[in-house]
Structure 1
Amino acid sequence: MPPVLHDARPRWLNQDVAIAILAATAIAAHLALRFLARWPGEWHGFDWATWPLLVALAFGAVPLLIGLARDVFRLKFGSDLLAGFSIVTAILLKEYLAGVLVVLMLSGGQALESYAVRKASSALGALARRMPTVVHRRREGQLEELAIEQACVGDLLVVFPHETCPVDGVVVEGRSEMNEAYLTGEPYLLAKVVGSAVLSGAVNGAGALTIRAEKRAVDSRYAKIMNVMRESEQHRPQLRRLGDQLGAFYTPVALAIAIAAWALSGEAVRFLAVLVVATPCPLLIAIPVAIIGSVSLAARRGIVIKDPAILEKLDGCRTAIFDKTGTLTYGEPQVTEILPAGDRTSDALLRAVASLERYSRHPLSGAILRAAEAANVELIDPAEVSERPGEGLRGIVDGKTVQVTSRKKLAAQSPELAEQVPRSSGGLECVILVDSQYAGALRFRDEPRSEGRSFIQHLKPQHAFTRMLIVSGDREEEVRYLADKVGISDVYASQSPEQKLALVRAETARAPTIFMGDGINDAPALTAATVGVAFGQTSDVTAEAAGAVIMDNELSRVDELFHIGARMRSIALQSAVGGMIVSVAAMLAAAAGYLPPVAGALLQELIDVVAVLNALRASWPPAALTDYKRTQARQT
């Protein structure tokens, strides 16, 4: 079955919101009928004022109780179990108003939690709505429209100007530019000519393109993004993990007071009164509010929180694991050497390579184009271009076949030609062949971030990190060059994604870890770490695997993320523990008979309001959100 790329259901419409609205409406109707209605309150024993409450309990309390019973059956005992006891007791004692008030508090807290989960994935929801539903297939000179699911591999599809590309394919006719920022994070337009690969989800420019579909819509890159989104939305983050920990102590205390009150007084209503005032709404509501506020504060600082649960975990991380490129470096290699072979000049070699690289999405293409611009080299339009996996970049420039490849691929293709490439002392390089003959090489360096060393030195004293590692797929000489610059001694180079994953799992088994990276090959490691942080407007897979995304590639933002997490935990504890202390005092009053159930429920609502108002402070920006720059200034 093909993935569903559009979802027309309102995102706010869910069971918790519906139950909360039903409970609030029932309470309002009950009060109106009891105090404002002019007709008699009872008719042949029928209490009009009670019936809205019964409807709310039937259609609101029952689904909540079924959910709680399901959790108990699975041996999941959360802080909301106490609310379930309150609802059942209220029904048995016919204290319907108190029962509906508890339903309102419980469903309201769960609705806030659901909102936080949806907030984390709203960007991917917007991405889903961009996908076209129809394609324009060219067959026997005629255009026909059909559903995107009906497009087959090999079909010729026309992408009109400013349309979204429906499937992955190759250009067979036309010239244009495409914006692939939604997919690759690269903010510039990529030129597309005959032979260029195109990605589903990319936005076409001003020219029409005819492409040959190489994948069906269900197998395309965009569909894979949607599958990842669906799986992530089905995964429920444990937003109340902190609340459940506190509830493990609070719930037995509340039950003990309620049972003692019943046993000593002989009045079951006191049992209900204690449970109602004990309903842990500071845990059910205040903690999700603090989390939502912190997610909002982080967003204003250029940090997208994908998994709100990481805000609780950050303060406990003790091992920092860094990818190299784009994390500790700028991710923008610069050409440092041009090594032409034979009588070919540097400008001639650069012209041939840059003319092809205009049509490539390879990470080194930008560096080559910048070098050509700096050298005032005039580029040539290639006759054709291809860039297939494992083959490198090929094309015809000025009537000659030009190939851009790597030393390793050349050695596998032609060991004799590989021997002509000068030995490298480190850094990145690409090898150029012209008409299947060695023509020269280009070498690059990706310099460390200026703040890298001071940031590494800041982690141990200010955030209690005990271990720092660099894990990279690059060659060891290049990785050690960076490690020496930033002050990290534990280096793991030439690591495949599988090796990165194994290493992160091993380190996480020893101590909580934070992994920072930006490439698709970092996605498994980001998922395996205690906290995964991705840098930049990165790839779709990487962003989905990470718990947080630092949008502007600044290491100082990571320090802000640490402080946002610590501040969220502090404010949540203030709200929850403070509310629990007041609730315990109210429980003792209820146990002594001074608080009937409805009055206790109203007092609990007042406690909730105070706890929530305090929790809202998490969204207010403090005077200072980081101490990294002060530390950096002292070191300077």
Structure 2
Amino acid sequence: MGTCKEKPEHALGEESENKRVLVGFAVWLGITILVCGVLDIFFDGIPINFTVPLLNLPASASMILYYTAILAAAIYIGITGLKELVVERRFSVEFLMAVAGLGALALDYRFEAATVLFLYCIAEYFEGYIQNRARRTVEKLSRVIPENARLIIDGKEVSVKVSEVQTGSTIMVKPGERIPLDGNVVDGFSHVDQALVTGESVPVPKRVNDCVFAGTLNTGGVLKIAVTKKASETLVSRIVELVVESQKRKAGIERLVDRFARFYVPVVIALAVFTAAGLPFLLGGGFETWFYRSLILLVVSCPSAFIISVPATIFVAITIAAKHGVIIKGGVFIEKLAKVKRVVFDKTGTLTLGRQAVHEVRRVDLTKAEDEAIAYAAALDQFSNHPIAQAIVRKAVERKIDLSKLKVTDVVEVPGKGIVGLVNDKHVAIGNLEFMRELGCNCTEAFEISEGDVHTAVCVSVAKTGLAAVCVVDQIREDALRAVKELKAAGVKTAMLTGDRAEIANDTALGLGIEEVHSELFPEDKLRCIEDMKGKDGLVAMVGDGVNDAPALAASDVGIAMGARGVDVALESADVVLVKDELAQIPYLLKLSQKAMVIAKQNIAASLAIKFVLGALGLVGLTPLWFTVAAGDDGVTMLLLLNTLRLERIK
């Protein structure tokens, strides 16, 4: 619950100590209320034969127990509140609760004074627990990173602190250990559980040249890793830093609540003072009656319920997204995502994998099997790094074609044209029409059967005769179609921007169900398209790889970057980062953001309505002070914080 404004950040030790003290006071006050209740009901408080100085009241065991517990708790809480009033010039809930408790005690309402402070202490603990639940989720990322690393120096293993390891060093990670630093595998093979960072449920195979992240779990073999990032620069460290810093980028609704609180608190406190000092003269009645009612207004004056619940709602949404492998860089983007009405996708590397895949094998002689053409082509292409060659080799692997049984010699690759060689002593060539003509291969028929196809095709020639045309396409992501369908079902428009040819762009868009396509664009053209779309149907979100479309990402209302291939660039250029490149997270993000804003508005409306009703009832003497604290301050604050946890149910 804390204060009527957000608390400044305290040292962790000081905050923990304060929580322990409040729990101690809660136990003390709770026992005091029970014991004194029994003493007052059955033993008349156990009278003691002397009069209390200053109070001029007959003493009893019950009275001494009450006064001791109430004064100790009220003074401790009041000093905290007084510091904030003097230093920060604002009324905190600690100050208001201490005044309410001491005021009730001055009127000799001991039970109510003790109950007010008891409810405050117990609520402070539980509210802190609920508030910190999201923060603990993020901090858990940091705690799992090992403190030491196995550094390899001159072939020997030395244990050193992670903070002392420099980039370029080689470390070793054994099975069952967590990887201490980001890096690239230089030796070994294993499966690594990356759920902590990317949310992937299945361990990912890691071999030489694959990147690994700090905090992930090595489940299989021994890995030697060349360190690429210092401890403070690892992906996990950046994620924790960004999520914590996201609290500083407040949403508009958070700033509105802060501004409202600046006026609300002084006005209600002034009304409480007027109630105690002025209403006895204007409306009659005893001073004690109106002073008691003014204490109720003091309790109502603290807007901690909505001051805390709104930022808590935003932060819970951000941490839930982080658990799903999505980094949102501030509450302002939660608010914007809730208003997005159009999502614009880059094509290559976003809707597609940016990797060629065999789309179709068109045979000249239909009596011959497709696998024959794939086998001959892959036999040569296994020696090439060209994307089309790699696609054909992957297709051969998928079809379980054993290339080791083929004898391959005299391989020559001609950049930009194709590759030629001998396979089982037969002349084999794969390439474009120009290359086939240069080699004297008859591939006219092979290219004719693929004529009119918008996709790239290469001819497979065996013994200088065209055997088949292999068509390749940029492979569409598995979840791209699902993401587009869910966006359309939610009433969100979709569009695609690409530098690719119009025929290929239209074919991809048609397969995904995207209505609006802009093709053959340069980066500056993408920027212009985004500017034209903004303001037409609501806010615009742009999804890209964060590299060549960085200007368009920056120009959009919300820039969403694919982070798996270049997390560092994505973290810098975008407002939202999809750590594991799952487009299906985008509809979920919009749904999560919309629900977060609905809950934030519900919390504001509910807290103000409850406080208004209780304030009015208290002013006419229909509610006691302890009930106002339980229902109107501590109770409603806890209720609203629990309401924010409904965000975790969103699928």
Give the counterpart letter for 2:22 in structure 1. A
Alignment partner of 1:446 is 2:475: yes
Secondary structure of the equivalent of 2:607? Answer: helix
Quote the offset at 1:584 in angstroms.
1.0
5+ residue gaps, structure 2, are 1-9, 37-45, 55-63, 106-112, 279-289, 363-371, 418-431, 437-446, 461-468
Does the 8 Å CA contact 1:567/1:618 hold for their aligned counterparts? Answer: no
Measured after TM superposition, the shift of residue 441 of structure 1 is: 9.6
Larger radius of gyration: 2
Shift of 1:604: 1.8
TM-score (norm 2): 0.62
Q: 1:604 matched to which residue of 2? A: 632
Q: Which residue of 2 aligns with 1:48?
A: 68
The answer for the alignment partner of 1:513 in structure 2 is 540
Asked if structure 2 preserves the Cα contact closer than 8 Å seen for 1:293 and 1:618, the reply is no
Instruction: Give the deviation of 1:475 after TM superposition.
Output: 5.9
Q: Deviations over 1:34-69 (max 9, x none)?
A: 663789899988952234314531675357658964
The equivalent residue for 2:7 is none
- The question of whether the paired residues in 1 share the 8 Å contact of 2:543 and 2:560 is answered with yes
Structure 1 residue identity aligned to 2:189:
S
1:488 aligns with 2:515: yes
Select the residue among 256, 267, 273 that pairs with 1:262.
273
Task: Identify the residue that residue 223 of structure 1 maps to in structure 2.
Answer: 234
Q: Could you tell me whether the CA contact under 8 Å between 1:327 and 1:535 is conserved in 2?
A: yes
1:275 is the counterpart of 2:298: yes
Contact preservation (8 Å) 1:272, 1:597? yes
Contact persistence 1:162–1:203 (CA under 8 A): yes
Percentage of matched positions with identical amino acids? 18
- Change in CA separation of 1:274 and 1:235 when aligned onto 2, cut-off 3 Å: same
**Secondary structure of the equivalent of 1:318?**
strand
Q: Structure 1 residues 109 and 145, CA, compared in 2 at 3 Å: closer, same or farther? A: closer
The one-letter code of the counterpart of 1:371 is: K
Given that 2:559 and 2:576 are in contact with CA atoms closer than 8 Å, whether structure 1 keeps it comes out as: yes
SS of residue matched to 2:69: coil
Distance 1:476 1:378, change over 3 A: same
Secondary structure class of the residue paired with 1:50: helix
Aligned partners of 2:185 and 2:207 also within 8 Å: no
Question: Could you tell me which amino acid in structure 2 is paired with residue 446 of structure 1?
Answer: Q
Q: SS of the residue aligned with 1:235? A: helix
How far residue 500 of structure 1 moved from its aligned partner, in angstroms, is 6.6
Q: For 1:594-630, what per-residue CA distance to the aligned partner results, in whole angstroms no more than 9, with x for missing partners? A: 55655532342575179449826835859xx8xxxxx
Determine the C-alpha separation between the residues in 1 that align with 2:250 and 2:20: 22
Which of 482, 497, 505 is equivalent to 1:479?
505
Counterparts in 2 of 1:356 and 1:320: CA distance versus 1, 3 Å: same
Pairwise CA distance, 1:371: 0.5
AA partner of residue 183 (structure 2): D
Change in Cα spacing, 1:18 to 1:151, as seen in structure 2 (3 Å) is: closer
Matching residue of 1:576 = 604
Q: 1:167 to 1:53 in 2, by over 3 A?
A: closer
The answer to whether 1:469 aligns with 2:501 is no
Query: Per the alignment, do residues 175 and 480 of structure 1 end up closer, same or farther by CA in structure 2, a change over 3 Å counting?
Result: same
Moved more, 47-56 or 16-25: 16-25
Q: CA 1:144–1:16 in 2, change beyond 3 Å: closer, same or farther?
A: closer
How far apart in 1 are the matches of 2:307 and 2:53? 41
| 2:152 paired residue number | 137
Q: Per chain length, whose mean CA-contact separation is higher, i.e. which structure has more relative contact order (CA < 8 Å, sep 6+)?
A: 1
Q: Which amino acid aligns with 2:142?
A: G
2:646 corresponds to:
618
Partner of 1:25: 24
Query: 2:508 is matched by which residue type in structure 1?
Result: L
| 1:59-208 equivalent positions in 2, closer than 5 A | 60-61=80-81, 69=89, 83=93, 86=96, 90=100, 109=127, 112-119=130-137, 121=138, 124-125=141-142, 129-130=144-145, 133-139=148-154, 142-151=156-165, 160=174, 164=179, 166=181, 168=183, 171=186, 176-177=189-190, 179=192, 192=207, 196=209, 199=212, 201=214
For residues 345-387 of structure 1, what are the alpha-carbon distances to aligned partners after superposition, in whole Å with 9 as ceiling and x for unaligned? 7534423444777xxxx99898545411245432459xxxxxx
Output the TM-score relative to the length of structure 1. 0.63
User: 1:162: Cα distance to partner?
Assistant: 6.2
Cα 1:112–1:284 shift into 2, 3 Å: farther
C-alpha displacement of 1:587:
1.5
Unpaired stretches in structure 1, ≥5 consecutive residues? 1-10, 73-80, 382-396, 408-416, 433-439, 626-636
Provide the rounded CA distance (Å) in 1 between the counterparts of 2:604 and 2:525: 42
Check conservation: 2:356, 2:474, Cα contact below 8 A. yes
Deviation at 1:276, TM superposition (A): 0.7
Give, in angstroms, the shift of residue 583 of structure 1: 1.5
C-alpha separation between the residues in 1 aligned to 2:357 and 2:81?
64
Q: Corresponding residue for 1:318? A: 341
Q: Distance in 2 between matches of 1:39 and 1:429?
A: 102
Residues 151, 171 of structure 2: 8 Å contact kept:
yes
CA RMSD of aligned residues (A): 5.9
Q: Which amino acid aligns with 1:233?
A: V
Distance 1:21 1:546, change over 3 A: farther
- SS of residue in 2 equivalent to 1:236: helix
For each residue in 1:450-486, what CA deviation from the matched residue of structure 2 results, as whole angstroms up to 9, or x when unmatched? Answer: 5576556545xx3xx5x64323465665434434553
Give the Cα separation in 2 of the matches to 1:256 and 1:197.
Answer: 62
The 1-side partners of 2:487 and 2:35 are apart by 67
Q: What SS class does the counterpart of residue 629 from structure 2 fall into?
A: helix
| Structure 2 partner of 1:350 | 378
Which residue among 77, 81, 86 is the counterpart of 1:57?
77
Mean Cα deviation higher: 604-613 or 222-231? 604-613
CA contact (8 A) 2:499 2:521 kept: yes
1:233 to 239, 244, 254: 244
Offset of 1:579 from its aligned partner?
3.3
User: For residues 525 and 570 of structure 1, do their structure 2 counterparts lie closer, same or farther at Cα, with a shift above 3 Å needed?
Assistant: same
For 2:173 and 2:642, locate their aligned partners in 1 and report how far apart those are by CA, in whole Å: 53
Q: 1:252 to 1:181 in 2, by over 3 A?
A: closer
3-state SS of paired residue (2:24) = helix
After alignment, is 535-544 or 17-26 more displaced? 535-544
